Amino acid sequence: MTMTENVLFSPSADRLDIAVLVLPHCSILEVASLLDPLRAANRHLGREAFRFRIVTPDGRPAPLTCGIELPSSGPLPQAQGAALLMVVAGYRLAEVTTRPLIRDLRRMAPRFGAIGGVDAAPWVLARAGLLDGHRATVHWEDLEDLAHAHPQITVSPARFVVDRTRLTAAGAAPAYDLMLHLIRARHGAGVARQVAQSFLHPPRPGDAPQLGATALPPRPEPGQDPRVARVLARMEATLDAPDSMANLAAEVGLSARRLESLFRAELGTTPGAHALGLRLAAARRMLTDTPHSMAEIALRCGFSSPATLSRAFRRAFACAPASLRRPRA
């Protein structure tokens, strides 16, 4: 259990009021992963053990990545009275993490028993100084950057972390895990099991590593050769220092020619092309979501220079890398 003492995670029959601050451009799955387990727990308990409300920075509906708008009960001050404030954030942080929002979070933080963040929201809490001196996690793509930018936070690759009055979850599935952990702590393993069975999705412990943050035993897709699964996992874990195809093949006891044959049969491409695609996709994400220089992105994605990255990027996406840059606050 990844948790330091928190009174909200003690057995209790009292109703727990939760406010969820949804920032624009986050995923509906992250919001649902917080709320639906609580709704299901209420159903199984036959009473309102959890009450929740949605708030947004300005009180208006929040546009989500899927294209719909999520209704709001009002602006952040409407969260007052809740024991727990959970913040959900995704993309375009520089745009949505405004100075008024940071100011309001700092001002209101003492009014909650605990504050949490999902996916990119730990960045928001960190900028408000609300994670200083705590352990916290964030989506695996941002672990290194958060640790570098905020050395006063002990950044963990865990799926979720509960440290005193701070809760962080690395994404939608870890948020679901965290809510099941909360349900289990307050109402017992039986209720948590019923909720998990409702969603046909057993929870994972908080200290389980995130996919991508550390090497995990790869699980093949149905019908997939396990050697292909192992090579794919290796490619994903070594974007900054890609292995040669000969080395990848040798690791799974194949010749390079046989590995290429398996890739063509199962993925319709070669190992080299697939690895390049992974690296370019990572570079595209960094261009849109981080302030890293081209030199830094090239280094992190296994390219010998910014020029090499730029040429490969143009061939793949028919545009210059710089065209994806957004102005950042």
Mean pLDDT, all residues of the chain: 90
How does residue 222 score in pLDDT terms, banded at 50, 70 and 90?
Answer: low
Computed over its alpha carbons, how large is the radius of gyration of the chain?
A: 22
Q: Report how far residue 210's alpha carbon sits from residue 129's, in angstroms, rounded to the nearest whole number.
A: 25
Which residue matches tokens 């990255």?
A: 309
What digits encode the pLDDT tens for the residues 268-295? 899 999 999 989 988 988 887 777 899 9
Model pTM score:
0.74
How does residue 212 score in pLDDT terms, banded at 50, 70 and 90?
Answer: very low
Lowest mean pLDDT among 123-127, 139-143, 218-222, 249-253: 218-222
Q: What's the start-to-end Cα distance of the chain, in Å? A: 37
Helices (H), the chain: 28-45, 93-96, 99-108, 121-127, 143-149, 172-187, 189-198, 226-237, 245-251, 256-267, 271-289, 294-300, 306-317
Copy the structure tokens of residue 179.
């809510």
Per-residue pLDDT at 195 exceeds 70: yes
Question: What integer is the mean pLDDT of 26-47?
Answer: 95
Using CA atoms of 108, 109, 111, 112 in order, give the dihedral in degrees to the nearest 10: 130
Give the pLDDT confidence score for residue 216 in this predicted structure. 45
CATH 3.40.1440.60 fits domain 3-198: no
Cβ–Cβ under 8 Å, residues 44 and 78: no
Q: What sign results for the dihedral spanned by CA atoms 72, 32, 204, 144?
A: negative
Give the pLDDT confidence score for residue 211 in this predicted structure. 61
Contacting residues for 162 by C-beta, under 8 A, at least 6 apart? 2, 3, 4, 6, 9, 178, 181, 206
How does residue 205 score in pLDDT terms, banded at 50, 70 and 90?
Answer: confident
* Short-list 134, 132, 74, 133, CA closest to 104: 74
Identify the architecture of domain 226-324 in CATH: Orthogonal Bundle (1.10)
What digits encode the pLDDT tens for the residues 72-118? 999 999 999 999 999 999 988 888 999 999 999 999 999 999 999 99
Per-residue pLDDT at 327 exceeds 80: no
Q: Is 99 exposed, middle or buried (0-12, 13-18, 19+ CB in 10 A)?
A: exposed
The residue that leads in pLDDT, 141 or 61, is 61
Per-residue pLDDT at 62 exceeds 70: yes
In the chain, what are the domain boundaries?
3-198, 226-324
Contacting residues for 320 by C-beta, under 8 A, at least 6 apart? 310, 313, 314
